[in-house]
Amino acid sequence: MIAPDKYTEQTLLATRAWTPSLLSIQTSRDPDFRFRPGQFARLGLATGDADPQIIWRAYSIVSAPAVGHLEFCSVLLPAGAFSNLLRNLPLGGSVFVEKAPYGFLTTERLVRGGDLWMIATGTGLAPFLSILEDSYCWSEYRNLVLVQSVRTEAELAYRASIEALMAAPPGHSGGARLTYLPIVTRELVPATLHARVPELVVSGELERAAGLALDPSTARVMLCGNPEMVTQTRAHLTMRGFAPSRRGIPGTLAVENYW
């Protein structure tokens, strides 16, 4: 339960269905809602009963801070309480947004410069899109590596937007080179990798595909999405010397679990 003075009521402006179980939405944005790329918002949807309640869930913000609307990308689970409300929400419907943004999957937590690796499963891609839409990372890092692991090719959401960013980085700030490494685990798709992230880290295949070393002296890594992927990948990276930010001292690793 969140007190009414802690959230604003926004409007559903547009949707895009990537698959029957993957939906992007755009909502209006309160002018006072400010966030850093990589953070998440708490979204609320009202149940349709006689005594409506608001169901709240965390959602990473896809859009950049400079954009006037908010964008999110959501999984639609068959039995998910929020999924079922979102699936049936009409354009113009109400989306409640908690006034405070949350989360530490932000570049401030990381040692400056070097190569930034952003590794996602499923909708864990979302915070990395906001980071990439912002010009800061393009001027700060030498290389940007975006890894997106999904089950099927159809779930490679935002692929065209990512390729557009590679061709024309925001702000024309130049500097960084973006390498995009899609992974499709349940189909054989040309020009994509075909194994889970921890396996690709251990085998060195991810580094070979990026042409860069996963070495804490040069690399900063962000992990987001499936908690098992995060735990297993983190364990391998810890053995290589990667460590999260501690007591305000930037680290080489930042993670976010979605459940």
Ligand X SMILES: Cc1cc2nc3c(=O)[nH]c(=O)nc-3n(C[C@H](O)[C@H](O)[C@H](O)COP(=O)(O)OP(=O)(O)OC[C@H]3O[C@@H](n4cnc5c(N)ncnc54)[C@H](O)[C@@H]3O)c2cc1C
Tell me which residues touch ligand X (CB under 6 A): 40, 57-60, 72-75, 77, 80-83, 103, 122-123, 126, 256, 258-259
Q: Is the CB of 121 or the CB of 143 nearer to ligand NAP?
A: 121
Query: For residues 26 and 149, which CB has a smaller minimum distance to ligand NAP in the complex?
Result: 149
C-alpha to C-alpha distance for 6 and 252, rounded to whole angstroms: 34
Min dist CB 87 to ligand NAP, Å, is: 12
Residues in 116-145 at the binding interface with ligand NAP, rule: CB under 6 A: 121-122
Q: Strand 94-98 and strand 7-19: pairing? A: antiparallel
Interaction of residue 232 with ligand NAP, rule CB under 6 A? yes
> For 123, phi and psi rounded to 5 degrees?
-70, -5
Q: Which residues of 94-111 are buried (b: 16+ CB within 10 A; e: fewer)?
A: ebbbbeebebebbbebbb
Q: Using CB under 6 A, which of 44, 114, 169, 198 touches ligand NAP?
A: 198
Q: How far is the CB of 225 from ligand NAP (least distance, A)?
A: 6
Whichever of 60 and 252 has its CB closer to ligand X, that residue is 60
CA 34 to chain centre: 17
Report the run of H or E that residue 27 belongs to, with start and end.
Answer: strand 22-27
| Residue 186 binding: pick among ligand X, ligand NAP, none (C-beta 5-8 Å cut-off by kind) | ligand NAP
Q: What is the DSSP string of 192-211?
A: SB-S-HHHHHHHTHHHHHHT
Residues that bind ligand NAP (CB under 6 A): 21, 75, 77, 121-122, 149-152, 155, 185-186, 196-198, 226, 228-229, 232
